[in-house]
């Protein structure tokens, strides 16, 4: 079993589930009823943070405006500053790498494991230099990397681990919840994710100092903000002698309306997450023993939460684009490619960063002796990136998911192998 233990419902329920339910609407109404009057704050943000921390299993959760902001805040809290290096995977949505650049640090790319698509601990070790400050692994598609090994490397070299769990909810690593293992973890609540607030991001941690630092960084550096306090007190703000900003920060506060939706989502997150696992299992059945579609491997140490269902098309005689076209001709909803490797994105090659009034090429600014940002840097990631087909798993209507799995089966049969 690749998916979660102790499922919400024992087998795939042939029913429609509602992504947005009554609770979400009720909490939104609660926020609206305050008229957004500062003195009548609904307290929803704090309630959401408390419940989110409980669900993940950390002491603290700090909610922010999106998952890129929460990665940026976590990097700041980890002490990452200009010129530091942060090791990450190139096979991810580029927000991971952009957050590192946003922190004025240098992303250093480790290669991935072919079967799991996840960052390779052996490659991480080779990337460490005296300037390395942190490792930012990603639980790509909802599967944990080998985080135990990554933690051991981090400990040996005194590095901070920030899990990018934007795509991973309620998955386990050796029985432990993903998001509780690194010093910090960051989640996204963007609309395609397991749970959403429309937008949103959350940093989870057990360390009170890190939680304070994340809160303050994402709250314009306000003095009185802390892990427990997301809102500045009236007595402070109305005092002419109040020294508000004790450090540089950004306004990354999560809007109350997003927190209201997210609080409602938490109440049925198990159901939402299990649906994605069930849909992935449907697709897995459809693939059966087809030798040229290789499913992302779930190692024995992990359970998968299937933000999407990725497979590799490994037969060079079948073109990726034509396979997708045929799937869609037969009634399929579409298939996503995975992201270009971050270091091969045009932003690294073109003048995109304005430094000192001059646009410069990122790949030139961040020169690194181990890291020519070009083909050949991460051979495994470069091999598998063009092969990956990612199927949607967010089907709330079970009949529609079954139809899609059948179409996949028919597409495989069309190629007759
Ligand atoms: C792996 C990963 N990291 C970070 C992000 C950024 O999250 P957000 O879109 O909430 O800023 C995403 C979002 O898609 C993601 O998939």
The domain in which residue 409 lies consists of 270-341+378-415
Q: Which of 193, 294, 326, 392 is catalytic?
A: 193
- Averaged pLDDT, 44-61: 97
In a domain, 37, yes or no: yes
On whether both 252 and 216 belong to a single domain, the answer is: yes
Ligand 1 centroid vs 327 CA: distance in angstroms? 27
Top mutation candidate among 66, 69, 95, 394 for ligand 1, by most atoms within 8 Å of CB:
95
Residue 311 sits in the same domain as residue 383? yes
Residues lining ligand 1, CB < 6 A? Answer: 66-68, 92-93, 95-96, 138, 164, 166-167, 188, 190, 201
Q: What is the pLDDT of residues 92-106, one digit of tens each?
A: 999 999 999 899 888
Quote the number of domains for the chain: 2
Whether residues 56 and 169 share a domain: the answer is yes
The answer to whether residue 200 is domain-embedded is yes
Indicate if 132 and 184 belong to the same structural domain. Answer: yes
pLDDT, one tens digit per residue, over 105-164 is: 889 999 999 999 999 999 999 999 999 999 999 999 999 999 999 999 999 999 999 999
102 CA to centre of ligand 1 in angstroms = 14
Domain boundary among 218, 237, 268: 268
Residue 176 lies in a domain: yes
On whether both 107 and 209 belong to a single domain, the answer is yes
Would 13 be classed as within a structural domain?
A: no
Domain boundary among 213, 240, 268: 268
- Shared domain for 63 and 112, answered yes or no, is yes
Residue 204 pLDDT class (50, 70, 90 cuts)? very high
**Whose alpha carbon is nearest atom 10 of ligand 1?**
67
Minimum mean pLDDT range among 70-79, 335-344, 366-375: 366-375
In a domain, 240, yes or no: yes
CATH number, position 317: 3.90.1150.10
* Separation CA 256–CA 44 (nearest Å): 6
Q: Which of 12-16, 173-177, 392-396, 407-411 has the lowest mean pLDDT?
A: 12-16
**pLDDT at 28 > cutoff 60:** yes
Distance 38 CA to ligand 1 centre (A): 30
Find the 165 Cα to ligand 1 centroid distance in Å.
9
Q: Taking 50 as the threshold, does the pLDDT of residue 1 lie above it?
A: no
Answer yes or no: is pLDDT of 397 > 90.
yes
- Is residue 107 helix, strand or coil? strand
Binned at pLDDT 50, 70 and 90, residue 224 comes out as: confident
> Residue 363 falls within a domain, yes or no?
no
- Residues 291, 226: one domain? no
Backbone angles phi, psi at 54, to 5 degrees: -65, -45
Q: What angle do CA 350, 248, 220 make, to 5 degrees?
A: 100
Ligand 1 atom having least distance to the Cα of 188: 10
Atom 8 of ligand 1 has which residue's CA nearest to it?
67
Give the domain-ending residue among 268, 295, 315: 268
Asked whether residue 232 falls in the same domain as residue 324, the answer is: no
Pocket test for ligand 1, best of 117, 163, 188, 198 (most atoms within 8 A of CB): 188
Mean pLDDT for the stretch of residues 46-58: 98
Whether residues 277 and 186 share a domain: the answer is no
State the CATH number of the domain containing residue 263: 3.40.640.10
**193 is annotated as an active-site residue:** yes
d(CA 269, CA 204): 17
- My answer on whether 130 and 175 are in the same domain is yes
Contacts of 91 (CB under 8 A, 6+ apart): 112, 117, 138, 140, 338, 339, 341, 378, 381, 384, 385
Distance 62 CA to ligand 1 centre (A): 16
pTM: 0.94
Are 327 and 294 found together in one domain? yes
The model's pLDDT over 168-198, given as tens digits with 9 standing for 90+, comes to: 999 999 999 999 999 999 999 999 999 999 9
Residue 142 maps to a domain = yes
CA of 169 from ligand 1 middle (Å) equals 13
Residue 241 binned pLDDT confidence (cut-offs 50, 70, 90): confident
Q: Are residues 326 and 403 in the same domain?
A: yes
Q: Name the residue of 93, 112, 168, 336 to mutate for ligand 1: max ligand atoms within 8 A of Cβ.
A: 93
Residue 9: is its pLDDT beyond 60? no
Q: Which residue, among 267, 264, 259, 234, has the nearest Cα to 45 in the 3D structure?
A: 259
Nearest CA to ligand 1 atom 12: 166
Residues in the chain, how many?
417
For residue 282, tell me if it sits in a domain.
Answer: yes
| Atom of ligand 1 at shortest range from CA of 71 | 4
């Amino acid at each position: 079993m690749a998916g979660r233990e102790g499922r919400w419902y024992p087998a795939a329920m042939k029913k429609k589930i509602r992504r947005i339910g009554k609770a979400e609407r009720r909490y939104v109404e609660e926020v609206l009823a305050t008229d957004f009057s500062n003195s009548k704050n609904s307290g929803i943000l704090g309630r959401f943070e408390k419940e989110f921390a409980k669900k993940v299993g950390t002491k603290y959760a700090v909610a922010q405006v999106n998952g890129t902001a929460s990665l940026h805040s976590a990097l700041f809290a980890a002490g990452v500053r200009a010129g530091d290096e942060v090791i990450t995977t190139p096979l991810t949505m580029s927000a991971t790498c952009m957050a590192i650049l946003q922190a004025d640090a240098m992303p250093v790319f480790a290669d991935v494991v072919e079967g799991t698509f996840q960052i390779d601990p052996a490659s991480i070790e080779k990337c460490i230099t005296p300037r390395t400050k942190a490792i930012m692994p990603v639980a790509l598609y909802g599967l944990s990397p080998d985080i135990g090994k990554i933690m051991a490397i981090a400990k040996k070299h005194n590095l901070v681990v920030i899990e990018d769990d934007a795509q991973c909810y309620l998955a386990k690593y050796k029985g432990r919840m993903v998001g509780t293992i690194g010093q910090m973890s960051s989640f996204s609540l963007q609309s395609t994710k397991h749970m959403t607030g429309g937008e949103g991001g959350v940093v989870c941690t057990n360390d009170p100092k890190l939680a304070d630092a994340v809160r303050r960084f994402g709250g314009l550096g306000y003095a009185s903000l802390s892990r427990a306090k997301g809102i500045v007190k009236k007595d402070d703000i109305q005092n002419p002698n109040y020294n508000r900003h004790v450090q540089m920060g950004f306004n990354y506060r999560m809007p109350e309306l997003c927190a209201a939706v997210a609080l409602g989502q938490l109440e049925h997150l198990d159901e939402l997450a299990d649906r994605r696992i069930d849909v992935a299992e449907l697709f897995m059945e459809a693939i059966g023993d087809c030798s040229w579609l290789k499913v992302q491997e779930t190692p024995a140490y992990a359970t998968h939460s299937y933000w999407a269902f990725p497979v590799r098309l490994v037969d060079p005689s079948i073109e990726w684009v034509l396979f997708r076209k045929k799937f869609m001709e037969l009634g399929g909803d579409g298939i996503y490619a995975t992201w270009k490797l971050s270091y091969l994105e045009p932003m690294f090659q073109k003048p995109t960063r304005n430094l000192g009034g001059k646009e410069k090429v990122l790949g030139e600014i961040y020169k690194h002796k181990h890291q020519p940002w070009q083909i050949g840097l991460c051979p495994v990631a470069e091999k598998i990136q063009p092969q990956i087909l990612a199927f949607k798993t967010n089907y709330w209507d079970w009949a529609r998911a079954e139809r899609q799995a059948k179409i996949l089966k028919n597409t495989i049969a069309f190629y007759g192998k």
